[in-house]
Structures are given as structure tokens and as C-alpha cells.
Chain A
Amino acid sequence: MLVSFIFVIFIFLSMIAVIVIKGLPGLNWKMLTQTPKSGYYIGGEGGILNAILGSLYLAVGATLLAALISVPVVLFINVYLKKDSWFAMLVRFSFDVLWGIPSIVYGAFGFAVMIFFHVRASLLGAIITVAILEFPIISRVADGILKLVPVELKEVSLSLGATRFETSFKVILKQAAPGILTALLIGFGRGVSDAASVLFTAGYTDSLPTSLLRPVATLPLAIFFQLGTPFAEVQQRGYTAALILILIIFAISGLSRILSKRFHEHILR
């Protein structure tokens, strides 16, 4: 058992090591601060600033939108509904089901809806699609965190005459804020790293994102396209882009870990 455990650790460590070693030589300021110049995909000059910024805009937008849905829903099932309410059960069940739907299905569905409304591939379309992808993840994590908030807190607040609305947003949400932020960061990480859902909805462009209604480049797709070219130089940039993406994911994960530690320190027990 120890052997299989070590084996698995070794595989994952070697994977990260390979990406770092392969990506590092291509890492320079040009990659981070320039957009692709003409002929970039056959070895021309430039960098992937368009994809880095695009991914961040997209994930920030999608996470905010998902938060607007998740936070009220999760507060509703935890504060307004009784603990063993069948409706809360149904909602939690649907979170789990939504969480299991492959991202390509969200991508295909999102694009079908966009065609129906005659919207072209754009930042806005991608934000909405990725928000739908992120919100079950955020809701599940946030739900788990709100369950940790002691019931007494809710009861005290209600017995002092606060309405459930005030209890939700002024007491419970404040208590759980670092935890909710962790949930948002996890959702954000998923939004940054997913490729299948933005494949059609975001489109792709070599210029910087300027408008919600224009196509936008994303980091996962930049990696995918660059690795797909037959030029060693461009593939090298793909590996560097992969390194950048891994660094972003690790940073987000580290941040959420720090936050959730702080959450556990502050929570009343």
C-alpha cells in the first residue's frame, strides 16, 4: 500500500517536474507582456498576454456571476429552510448532479443557446457558460462551510429579533466570509483551468480583450493550440504557457488554503 501510494506521488511529482523543466526555458518577459505578432503560430514573435488577461477576465467575471447565484441560494437553504427540508435536499442533490456534468456539455449547451439568440462567441458568452460550470462547485463548498457555522448563532440572532434576512447577511455571512471566499477561489481555479467549456463560447483572438461582446483568448486554449502546431518553437511556448497556468493554479490553491485556515481559527465553537 505504501508502495502504491509512493508510486502515485512519484507520478504526480514527475508530471509537475516535467512541465516546470520543459516550460522554464521559454519563460521570459516577452511571453508575459506581449500579444502574438503576425506569424506567431508558425514561429513568429510575441507572447501570450492576450490569453493570460483573457483567462483572468473570464474567470473573474464568471466567479462574480456564480457568486451572485451561489451565495443567496446557499444562504437560503441553510438559513430559511429547516435542516431536514426536502427542498434543501433536492437543491443539494441538484448541485451534485450539476457538478458531475462534463464541461464539454456546458460548452455545447452554452453555444447552442448563444446561436439561438444570435450571439457570437464572446467574452460575455464564455462568462455566462463558465459561471454555470462554476456555480455548483462553489455552492457545494460554500454549503459545507455554512453547515459548520453553529446553529446557536442563527438561533441567538433570530431570538434577538433579527429577521432571517438580517441573520443571513449580517451574522451568518460575516461569520462564514473567509470560507465563502475559499469556495469562490476554488471555483475561480476551475474557471481558469477549464478548456472544454470555452472552446466554442469564448472564441479565440490574438488581441487583448477590450469588450464583453468580442471573442477572447484563454490560457488553456492557448496551450492547446500551441501544442497542436508542428513547430518546436511554438510548442516550447505551449509548455511555458502550461507552466504559467500551473503557477496560477498553485497560487490560487495556496491562497484558499491560507484563507480556510483563518476561517477555522475565527469560527465560534
Chain B
Amino acid sequence: MYQKRTIKDITAKHIMFTLTLLVSLLVVVIAWGLFTRSRPILSENSLTALLFSVKWHPTQGQFGFAPFILGTIYVTLVAIVLAVPLAIFSAVFLAEYAPKALRNSFKPVLDLLAGISPVIFGAFGVLVIVPLVQKYLLPVVAHLAKFVPFLATNNFTGFGVFSAGIILAMMIFPIMTQVAEEVIHSIPKEVRDSSLALGATHWETIKYVVLKKSRPGIIAAVILGLARAFGETIAVLMVVGNVVQIPKSLFDAAYTLPALIANNYGEMMSIPLYDSALLLAALILLVVTVFFNILAWLILARVEKAYV
């Protein structure tokens, strides 16, 4: 005969196990849910046609995602190009040069920055970045565009790929710096000491030993930033211009997949297949970000195994 408290323990175990199982299946449930809802459009069009067609006319039943996919990729690339060097330098500075007190006190600041609302970043973009681009950068660009491709634009509003890239770079900087700093910091002291003992300077040690050893981890940090940038919605929507076109220049307006969902999902009911198309867009976002996150997870798990 079991005691009452043992029965309690066993019951609790089963309840908690079930809950845990459900939670770990949530990703699958969401993916499956989005897939079943986007099946109508997949049965009428081939996936390649949807992904590579540039014709987006929902009322005529044409759903080509290419402008949105390319817009998302361009904006993400600009953000990565801007943020990665800054994040790596900051991480190296924090892990290698900064006094311990600064290092410890900056970590909470990174957390804080990562927690600031996307809307605030968007507001900053509208308020500062867009006017700066419009007033100061575009006139310069207009001159440069004669010599450099990808700069010529007839969009003089300041809302566009470049502005969105700047805002995104600010948003993904905290997570990339955090991960990169942790990876660099986890490299054992002995590795550094032996390099220094062989006569290398501090900078040489960082460049040839520390950064080389932490490369996989830094790549993982970049991938995490990439995944973040790919799915960011409101902040990008506020500054990217939201024009359905394939941007030909860094300063052209564009449209991203998350912005597409955000702008249209509320009132898509009257057009056939529209909701199915938007949920397919959500499914694409899910698949891409999950893929990147798993990739980063695998790399970081391996890095952790190597040093701990």
C-alpha cells in the first residue's frame, strides 16, 4: 500500500512528464498547423513557382513570393554586414581588454538592449535614421551612383533597405555580442599563456590563436543574428518602405516576409487563398529560422564539448 505522499509524487511525475512532452512537441505542432493551413495554395501552385515568381497580385490569384524573400534577404545581409564587425570587435574588447568590472557591468546592459521593444527601434528609425539617410546620405549617393552600381535609386524618401538594415543591425548586435563574447571568454587560459610564452604579443595571440579557436562559436553567433534579423517584423516594417518590388539598389524601398504578414493578415478574408498564402509565408519564416537556430545550436554544442 502506497503512502499518500508517494501517490502524490507519482501523479505529479506523470502530469509533469505529459506537460514536458507536449512542450517539446510544440514546434512540430506549430509547423504542422501552418502546413495544413497553407496546403490550399500549395495544391494550386507548385512551391518553386510560389518561391520564384515575382508577380504578387492576390486579387488575381497570383502569389509570387520572390520580392518578399529577396527583400528579407537583402535587409538581413545589410544588417549582418553592418553588425558583425562591430559585434566581434566589441566581444573581443569585452573578453580580452576590458577590465573585469566593465565586462561584468556591460552584460546586463546587453540584456537590457536585447529587451528593448522592436517598436522603439522602429520609432528611432523613423525619427533619426530615415531623415539622416534622406538628408545627408542620399545627396552624396546621387553623385556616387554614377560610378557605383547598386546605389542608383529614384527613391528619395529615406525609407528603404539601407535604413532597415541599420535598425536591424542595432537589434541583432546584443545577441551576437553576447554569444561571441561567451565563446571567446571560454577559451582556456593555457592556450593564451602558451602563445604569449612563445613570444607572441597580446594582439597576435588574439588574432592567430583566440579568434581562430573561437571561429565556430563566432559563426554560430552570426547565424543566430541572421535568424533574428530574418524574422524581425515591426521595426523593419516601419522603415523599409513596404513597396512590392525587387530592390535594385541599397536605397530602394523593399518589402519583407514578416512585414507582408503583419500588414495584410488582419484583413485577408475576402480574397481566396490569401490567408493560405500568408500562412505559407509564416511557414517559410518558421522553417528558415528553425534551420538557422538548429545550425547554431549544433555548432555551439560542439564548441561547449570541446572546452568543458
Contacts and interface: CB of A to CB of B under 8 A. Distances in A.
A105 B86 contact: no
Interface in B67-121: 85-86, 89-90, 92-94, 97-98, 108, 111-113, 115-121
A223 B16 contact: no
Contacts of B113: 12
B13 A108 contact: no
Contacts of B170: 11-12, 15
B19 interface: yes
B265 interface: yes
Given A109-B33, A165-B8, A73 B16 contact: yes
B238 interface: yes
Given A15-B170, A108-B278, A195-B117, A94 B86 contact: no
B16 A80 contact: yes
Q: How large is the interface on A (under 10, 10 to 19, 20 to 34, 35 or more residues)?
A: 35 or more
Given A196-B262, A253-B115, A15 B124 contact: yes
Interface in A83-99: 87, 90-91, 93-94, 96-99
A80 B265 CA distance: 43
Given A242-B119, A245-B120, 14 more contacts: A94-B27, A96-B297, A98-B27, A102-B231, A103-B231, A104-B258, A104-B262, A105-B289, A106-B30, A109-B33, A164-B13, A199-B265, A223-B123, A246-B116
Interface string B274-295: 0100110010011001101110
Contact of B119 (A1, A15, A135, A224): A224
Given A220-B119, A242-B120, A101 B30 contact: yes
Interface string B21-40: 00111110010011001000
B282 A105 contact: yes
Please give me the 6 A-B residue pairs with the lowest Cβ-Cβ distance, nearest first: A102-B231, A193-B117, A100-B293, A163-B9, A196-B233, A4-B89
Contact of B127 (A73, A195, A239): A239
Interface string B110-144: 01110111111111101110000000000000000
A196 B234 contact: yes
A80 B233 CA distance: 39
A209 interface: no
A186 B5 contact: no
A163 B10 CA distance: 9
A8 B266 CA distance: 37
Contact of B19 (A76, A104, A168): A76
Given A91-B24, A108-B279, A249 B285 contact: no
Interface string A59-95: 0000000000100110111001000000100110110
A163 B117 contact: no
B53 interface: no
A224 B115 CA distance: 18
Interface string A18-42: 1100100000000000000000000
Contact of B20 (A76, A96, A246): A76
